[in-house]
Structure formats: C-alpha cells, structure tokens
Amino acid sequence: MRDPRYDVLFEPVPIGPVIARNRFFQVPHCNGMGHRHPSSLAEMRGVKAEGGWAVVCTEEVEIHHTSALDGAVEGRLWDDMDIPAHRLTVERVHAHGSLAGIELVHSGLNAPNTYSRVPAIGPSVRPVTSGTPSVGREMTLADIANLREWHRAAVRRSLEAGYDVVYVYAAHGLTIFQQFLSPRFNARTDEYGGTLENRVRLLREVLDDTLELCAGRAAVACRIIVDELLGVDGQGRAVGLGRSEMEDVFGLIGELPDLWDLMVGEWDFDSSTSRFEQEGYSEPFVHGFKQLTTKPVVIVGRYTSPDTMVRLVNQGITDFIGAARPSIADPFLPNKIAEGRAEDIRECIGCNICVSGDWMSVPIRCTQNSSMGEEWRRGWHPERIAPKPVDGGDTKVLIIGAGPAGLEAAMWLGRRGYEVVLTEASRTLGGRVVQEAALPGLAEWGRVRDHRVLQLEKMDTVLVTLESPMTAEEIVEYDFTHVAVATGATWRADGVGRFHASGVFGGAMTPDDLLAGQRPAGNRVVVYDDELFYIGGVLAELLAGEGFQVTIVTPESKVSAWTVNTMEQHKIHRRLVAAGVAILTDTAVLGHEGDVARLACTYTGREHSLACDAVVSVTFREPHAPLVGQLQSLGLQYVQAIGDAYNPGTIAEAVHSGRLYAESLHAPDLAVGATPFRREIIGLAGR
C-alpha cells in the first residue's frame, strides 16, 4: 500500500491539452542508440512507461541535416523516412498509458555536420563547439525563416508519429535557440540580436509556430537554461546568460509554452557525478522560477528520495519530478513508491557510466540496472526474469565471492527460483564497492551493495554465508551442480600495463594496499596512473588529504583521461590542483630506486628524476580465479568465472556479467560463433 505521505506525487497534472497521470517525468536523455538502434530504443522507453513514468521523452532529435550530430548517435527526424522509428517508440510508451514526448533539436553552432558536410549555422560567425575545427556561418534572415520552417516540419512529423509533448529546446549550451538568446554566441545587430527582446525573438517565434501546429493535439514544452553559470570575464563583463536575464526572459515569454523544463549550466553540470555533487544540487538555481509562470515546471537533480520529491512539490519548487539517471537506474521507481516499496528503489549512484555510452556512441549501460540497453536485444527486464525451467529442479548453485558480480548473479538466480548459496571470504558483502565507497566522494557507490543485499534478505532461495573462504576441496564435498567463481581481481604492482610491457617496480604499492588501509612509508608519493579511469585520481586525492606530498604521473595527456566519458575529467583535474597534487602528464615512471623516481617524457624519451619515497602503481587488475582450474581438475563440470574474476573491468561490467550468468543458466546453447543478442540491420535503399 502506498504511504499517504507520497499521495501528492501521484496527482494527475495537466500539461496544456494533455494530462500526465502522475508527477514522474522522464526528461529527455541521450542513450547512444538514437537513430541507429530504433527497436532497442523503443523497448527501453516502453519499460520506463511500464515502470510508472507518466511522461517518457526521447533524447535530442535532430530536425534537419544542418544539425547532424554524427560522432554521437542521437535521434533523427530529418524527413518522413524517420517517422516509423518514432512511431515505434510512441507505441511502446502509449502501451503502458504514458505520454510520449519528443525533444526536437537544432544544434546550430554545436553541430559538426561531419556526415552531411554542410556548414554549421548560428546567430553569428563563431567556431563550431564540437567535433570539428570549422567555423559556423552567420544566418541571414532567409536562413532564419528556413529554420522556422524546418522546425515546423519536424513538429508536423512528431504529431504524425503520435507524440503528446513536443519540445522546443533551448538549453545545455547545445541548441540554436539558446545560441540566439546568449550574448556568448549572438553578436547580431538586426532584430534578432542586441536587446533581450531581440535575442528572445526567435525562441518566441518558434514557440508560437509549435503551439499553432500542436493546437490541442499535443502539449508544447520548452527546455530552457536558467543560468549558463559562466560568470564574468577578466574585464568584469557577464560572459553568458545569468539568472537575472533569464528571469527577464520569463517576464517576456513565461506564459507561452505549456510546460517549462528548467536546467542549469552545461551537460556536465546537469549530469554531475556524485563525486562532485549531491542529490538536488541544481535546486538553488531553479528555485523561484516556478513563481514566474503559471505553467507547470519540471526540474531534475538526481532525485531518488520520495520524501525530497514531496518537499519539492509542496514547497512550490516544481510540479514534476524530472529524472534521467534515476529513471535509468530504476525504470520502476514510480511504481515502487506507488506500491509502498520505496526501499526497493535501485538508486542511481551518480557514476555516469550511462553517459559514457553516449560519448562512446554505443547503447546505454548502467552500473545499477543491468538490463539497461538490453531490453530488446537480450530481452532483459529490470524487474523480471524467466523462472528456472521445470527440468532445472535439482540444480544447486554456489557463487563464490559477494562483490557486485556475485551479488547480482545470486539475486537474479534467486528470483528465478534456483537454490543458491552465496559465500564470501570476508566479513562484509559488496567486494570492491565496499572499499571504494570509502574513498573521497564515492560514498554513493555503496548503493550497488545496499540494493542487492536488501533484495537477498527478502529471498528464501539464497543462503548467504560470510567469512567463508572456500577451497576447491571443500566445494566438491557439497552437492553443487554449478559453481560461479566471482572472486574479483588483483592490482599488479610492477608497472606493467598500457605503457610498460615488462615490470619496472620492485616494491611499489598498489590500490589494493591503500584500500586495505596501508600507507606509504615516507611523505613523497608518486601515483603512477596508466589505468586512466578514476582510481588513480581518487587515491591521489585521498593521500593528499592525509598530508602526503603527492605527484600523479600519467603517460596520457590528461589526468584520469578516460573520465572525459563520464564528464568528470576537468573536475578531477581542478580538484587535484586544489588538493595540492602535482600533475605530470605525457610522462611515464621508468623506475624507483632509493628515494628517486625516474621519469621520462612519453614523446621524446627525455628523462628526469623526482624525489620520491614511494610509488603507487595503478596499471591494471588481473583476474583472481585459481578456483576455476582447481575445481575443473577435481571433476566439476559446470564451473565458470564471472565479473572481475573473468575479465576485470568497471563495476557496471561486473554487474552485467552477474546478470548474464543468471540469465544463461539452462538457456539453449548458442551455435558456435553466433551473436548472443539481437541486432537491427539497416534496410538497403531501393533494392
């Protein structure tokens, strides 16, 4: 039964001519599937609707070939050929009683157009802001009229596809309407530049166009930046759009759209990781905007707490609880609150692995939700799994190691009805996430453990044992038919990795040592990061916070280089500098002798030295699964390594591996060489 405290979240809310059945609103979010994987995309959106989100939106959808975001895979609605794919998404969303929203975009100066090979366009001649060293063309009045017509055509196509909410998009620093609004891009001297009234003109005209076409058939939403967060330049001049100017924009067009979707800064702020921002971090910026309009408002802030959501509504900060990441981590978040099961919410941990899918142009994935991106191609569901087959009756599964992989495998196998024993050598469940959650800024990562442990506690099919380091000889004494070895991985200490092919350190420390509580003997520490994700930077931050004099050295040209994909790299650099960590990029550590580390430039090989008492070697982890071979040699047939014990990777990969193991038990064997998931192939034109 629903807790009456949360009733307000389930009130229907009108948006212009349509009615949202509750206040849960999946705002537009990228997913790396876009126009390339339409069936995967439609199924993913459908699952959100099934989980109770009253409005389910697309990602940004290009309206025209002058707004081609290739490099990324976004939505596309250039012409009628694109309509059927959108109809598929709308059908899947409508099938569960939700409203389908489409976020139309013209990216203007943000469009590299590397596929369409036409110049980018914008309010003024300015460099293209992504993907190409080209310069965008200043739009003539005829271009502006054309842009309005392209947008109108996209609105007509959206209506034909069946969308209920059509967005005019002026946010994230990514769209032409924001570029016209912002003095950062708009230096025009005609009626579209200069005064605020002039800069807002195009947005007003396009809103008018969209309202006229939607006329009672669909609502018109406007996603708007409320503060570009750019501050002032060296001369004290405002660089971009600030809050007070945006309040004036609301004074001019505040009543125009049917809904305002408020956002702040650029995408890296809008989707800040938990290492840098907590739940609700954008609230101070959006606060008060709802009072500038009578139209409903939606905000985001990685909200997963229903009590906070109720407060936001009751305090008049928002009408809708907007979510991208919380809806990715748990598509069933609204239903769980509705059913009085808020404790079952799989809370987003704020790691931005989902975002990395978009940056890498591959289908979205999620650390917490192993089914994300796999709904259509593998048939996985965030809440359900096929029961064990009738002939699987005497199957008994032992899972060794209760890290993310072991926990996930046990949870899903338990749900399938298998008899499972999950055994863990240490005193705590959670494996690496328990240790890593204790590092600076990573506390929320503990949610990976918490959710699964809670679910396991509710099951009577899974027996969990702690402080039980199992040997192969012990295991074969029992009657397990299947054994999954989820015993994790071990950091190498010798410096071998991407840069060094053979060992260079004798007595270096590793992340495992630091996570286990050991510390360097002296004060001057070099963290050698050839792994390139977060751990090297976090450990440098940890040691600096404890008073060590830290230098982080990396062969890459950026510190924590892979974190560009989680939109954290620049924040990590800034934080390390603030913590007093010295940063040496394009540099390898060649060795450490006495109190000197030998370094070399990775371009020239030129060597230099650095006074150093200890080196922490952060290169890669090796699978730790001796049990697999031992059990096989003792005659056990069904034994398999999963997670890091199979191939070390991100926590998301370990969770996925656990799910895959659970899904695969008693699944029909695949033919040798067969692709283990469905693919969608582009039809050949005119053949």
Residues in contact with ligand ADP by CB under 6 A are: 400-406, 423-426, 431-432, 469-470, 486-488, 643-645, 654
Between 368 and 423, CB nearer to ligand ADP: 423
- Tell me the helix, strand and coil percentages in the chain, rounded to 5: 35, 20, 45
- 403: partner contacted, choices ligand ADP, ligand SF4, none (Cβ within 5-8 A by kind): ligand ADP
**Helix, strand or coil for residue 222?**
strand
Looking at residue 660, the DSSP 8-state letter turns out to be H
Query: CA 568 to CA 371: how far, in whole Å?
Result: 25
Catalytic residue among 82, 261, 268, 270: 270
Please give the helix or strand (H or E) that residue 251 lies within, else none.
Answer: helix 243-253
How near is the Cβ of 382 to ligand ADP at its closest, in Å? Answer: 20
Q: What is the CA radius of gyration of the chain?
A: 27
- 431: partner contacted, choices ligand SF4, ligand ADP, none (Cβ within 5-8 A by kind): ligand ADP
**Helix, strand or coil for residue 321?**
strand
- 354: partner contacted, choices ligand ADP, ligand SF4, none (Cβ within 5-8 A by kind): ligand SF4
- 257: partner contacted, choices ligand ADP, ligand SF4, none (Cβ within 5-8 A by kind): none
Please give the helix or strand (H or E) that residue 326 lies within, else none.
Answer: helix 325-329
Catalytic residue among 29, 30, 86, 348: 30
Query: CA 103 to CA 224: how far, in whole Å?
Result: 12
Between 399 and 542, CB nearer to ligand ADP: 399
Looking at residue 361, the DSSP 8-state letter turns out to be T
Is 113 in contact with 178 (CB distance < 8 Å)? Answer: no
E-assigned strand segments in 392-507: 396-400, 419-423, 462-465, 482-485, 489-491
What string of H, E and C letters represents the secondary structure of 361-400? Answer: CCCCCCCCCCCCCCCCCCCCCCCCCCCCCHHHCCCEEEEE
How near is the Cβ of 276 to ligand SF4 at its closest, in Å? Answer: 12
Looking at residue 114, the DSSP 8-state letter turns out to be T
The token pair at 154 is: 């996209």
Catalytic residue among 35, 82, 164, 169: 169
Nearest to residue 8, comparing CAs of 331, 282, 337? 337
Query: Helices 447-457 and 404-416, interaxial angle, to 10°?
Result: 30
- 592: partner contacted, choices ligand ADP, ligand SF4, none (Cβ within 5-8 A by kind): none
Task: For tokens 């808020």, name the residue.
Answer: 342
How near is the Cβ of 263 to ligand SF4 at its closest, in Å? Answer: 17
Between 335 and 455, CB nearer to ligand ADP: 455
- 368: partner contacted, choices ligand SF4, ligand ADP, none (Cβ within 5-8 A by kind): ligand SF4
Between 78 and 533, CB nearer to ligand SF4: 533
Between 282 and 371, CB nearer to ligand ADP: 371
**Helix, strand or coil for residue 444?**
helix
How near is the Cβ of 446 to ligand ADP at its closest, in Å? Answer: 12
How near is the Cβ of 214 to ligand ADP at its closest, in Å? Answer: 48
Is 111 in contact with 69 (CB distance < 8 Å)? Answer: yes
Catalytic residue among 35, 64, 106, 172: 172
- 113: partner contacted, choices ligand ADP, ligand SF4, none (Cβ within 5-8 A by kind): none
* Footprint on this chain of ligand SF4 (rule: CB under 6 A): 325, 328-329, 348-354, 366-368
> CA triplet 222, 358, 299: central angle to 5 degrees?
30
Judge whether 354 counts as a catalytic residue: no
Distances (CA, A) of 601 to 467, 526, 529, 537: 46, 16, 14, 20
Please give the helix or strand (H or E) that residue 355 lies within, else none.
Answer: helix 353-360
- 405: partner contacted, choices ligand ADP, ligand SF4, none (Cβ within 5-8 A by kind): ligand ADP
Between 39 and 271, CB nearer to ligand SF4: 271
Query: CA 442 to CA 596: how far, in whole Å?
Result: 32
- 349: partner contacted, choices ligand ADP, ligand SF4, none (Cβ within 5-8 A by kind): ligand SF4
How near is the Cβ of 665 to ligand ADP at its closest, in Å? Answer: 18
Judge whether 169 counts as a catalytic residue: yes
Query: CA 372 to CA 364: how far, in whole Å?
Result: 7
Between 85 and 349, CB nearer to ligand SF4: 349
The token pair at 403 is: 């890290």
Looking at residue 504, the DSSP 8-state letter turns out to be -
Is 529 in contact with 497 (CB distance < 8 Å)? Answer: no
Query: CA 253 to CA 210: how far, in whole Å?
Result: 14
Length of the chain: 687
How near is the Cβ of 643 to ligand SF4 at its closest, in Å? Answer: 17
Between 371 and 510, CB nearer to ligand SF4: 371
Is 449 in contact with 434 (CB distance < 8 Å)? Answer: yes
- 351: partner contacted, choices ligand SF4, ligand ADP, none (Cβ within 5-8 A by kind): ligand SF4
Task: For tokens 């650099």, name the residue.
Answer: 573
- 400: partner contacted, choices ligand ADP, ligand SF4, none (Cβ within 5-8 A by kind): ligand ADP
How near is the Cβ of 517 to ligand SF4 at its closest, in Å? Answer: 27
Between 401 and 536, CB nearer to ligand ADP: 401
How near is the Cβ of 482 to ligand ADP at its closest, in Å? Answer: 16
The token pair at 87 is: 């109809």
How near is the Cβ of 447 to ligand SF4 at its closest, in Å? Answer: 8
Between 46 and 404, CB nearer to ligand ADP: 404
Query: Helices 569-578 and 535-545, interaxial angle, to 10°?
Result: 20
How near is the Cβ of 270 to ligand SF4 at its closest, in Å? Answer: 12
The token pair at 56 is: 């389910």
Query: CA 120 to CA 140: how far, in whole Å?
Result: 13
Judge whether 82 counts as a catalytic residue: no
Task: For tokens 């109770």, name the residue.
Answer: 52
Between 408 and 530, CB nearer to ligand ADP: 408
Query: CA 516 to CA 679: how far, in whole Å?
Result: 43
Q: Active-site residues: which are they?
A: 30, 169, 172, 270
